[in-house]
């Protein structure tokens, strides 16, 4: 590691954007962090003329319709000022979805036990494309066990994060079930925090002293 190079952390984006996508990511990333979100992916495509998709989420992985609206209000003025795209485009804010892209070491750790597709920039175990169940993950790479190994392929491969160019989960019944359970827990936790905040507010109101009156 070079002297000025920072070590990889669990929350760093491993799979990074290139070209215009990278320019947009550098602009919107700090804005998202300032309002409590993190960037997942930027993708400029020819869909519907020209569409700039910005995929984001909260640190707990949630992203509601209201969150998308909040993100749009925050980053639209910044993009207008910085003007990284010299053509008219549609801005689309979205959540990662259930079959989400995996872009951080933490994403791969959360996905252990689930099926995923991955691509690398360099040959790993004799190939560049992988499909299988994620069996292990640490700060340096991810281990995947193929569910459809071709003849002559090693069924298990450990892929360094530095080699990955793309990765995403495969939609399965198991993944949907786990995502629904996680969403339920997040909703319950938000309700619990809201009730706790209301209790604190009510307690503060009860302790407010009555105004003093003066009698002659």
pLDDT digits (tens, 9 = 90+) for 147-177: 887 777 889 999 999 999 999 999 999 999 9
* Structural domain includes residue 60: yes
Same domain flag for 118 and 174:
yes
Q: Kindly tell me if the per-residue pLDDT of 8 is higher than 90.
A: no
| pLDDT recorded at residue 6 | 39
Contact present, 159 and 124 (Cβ < 8 Å): yes
Same domain flag for 124 and 73:
no
pLDDT tens for 83-137 read 999 999 999 999 999 999 999 999 999 999 999 999 999 999 999 999 999 999 9
Q: What is the pTM of this model?
A: 0.81
* Structural domain includes residue 40: yes
* Structural domain includes residue 1: no
Contact present, 164 and 129 (Cβ < 8 Å): no
* Structural domain includes residue 209: no
Same domain flag for 26 and 67:
yes
Same domain flag for 120 and 184:
yes
Same domain flag for 154 and 175:
yes
* Structural domain includes residue 205: no
Contact present, 156 and 143 (Cβ < 8 Å): yes
Domain that holds residue 172: 98-199
**CATH code, domain carrying 185:** 2.30.30.100
Domain boundary (78, 94, 110) is at 94
Same domain flag for 116 and 175:
yes
Residue 184 has phi, psi (to 5 degrees) of -60, -45
Same domain flag for 155 and 88:
no
Domain count, the chain: 2
Contact present, 101 and 117 (Cβ < 8 Å): no
* Structural domain includes residue 67: yes
């Amino acid at each position: 590691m070079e002297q000025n190079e920072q070590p990889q952390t669990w929350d760093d984006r491993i799979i990074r954007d290139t070209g215009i996508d990278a320019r947009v990511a550098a602009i919107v990333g700090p804005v998202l962090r300032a309002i409590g979100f993190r960037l997942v992916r930027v993708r400029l495509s020819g869909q519907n003329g020209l569409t700039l998709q910005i995929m984001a989420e909260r640190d707990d992985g949630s992203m509601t319709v209201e969150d998308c609206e909040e993100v749009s209000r925050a980053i639209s003025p910044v993009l207008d000022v910085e003007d990284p795209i010299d053509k008219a485009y549609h801005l689309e804010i979205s959540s990662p979805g259930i079959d989400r892209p995996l872009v951080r070491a933490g994403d791969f750790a959360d996905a252990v036990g689930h099926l995923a597709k991955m691509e690398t920039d360099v040959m790993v175990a004799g190939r560049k494309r992988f499909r299988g169940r994620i069996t292990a993950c640490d700060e340096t790479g991810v281990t995947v066990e193929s569910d459809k190994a071709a003849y002559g392929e090693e069924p298990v491969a450990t892929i360094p994060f530095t080699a990955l160019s793309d990765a995403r989960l495969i939609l399965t019944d198991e993944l949907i079930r786990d995502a629904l359970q996680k969403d339920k827990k997040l909703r319950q936790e938000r309700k619990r925090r809201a009730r706790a905040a209301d209790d604190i507010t009510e307690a503060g109101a009860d302790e407010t002293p009555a105004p003093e009156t003066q009698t002659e």
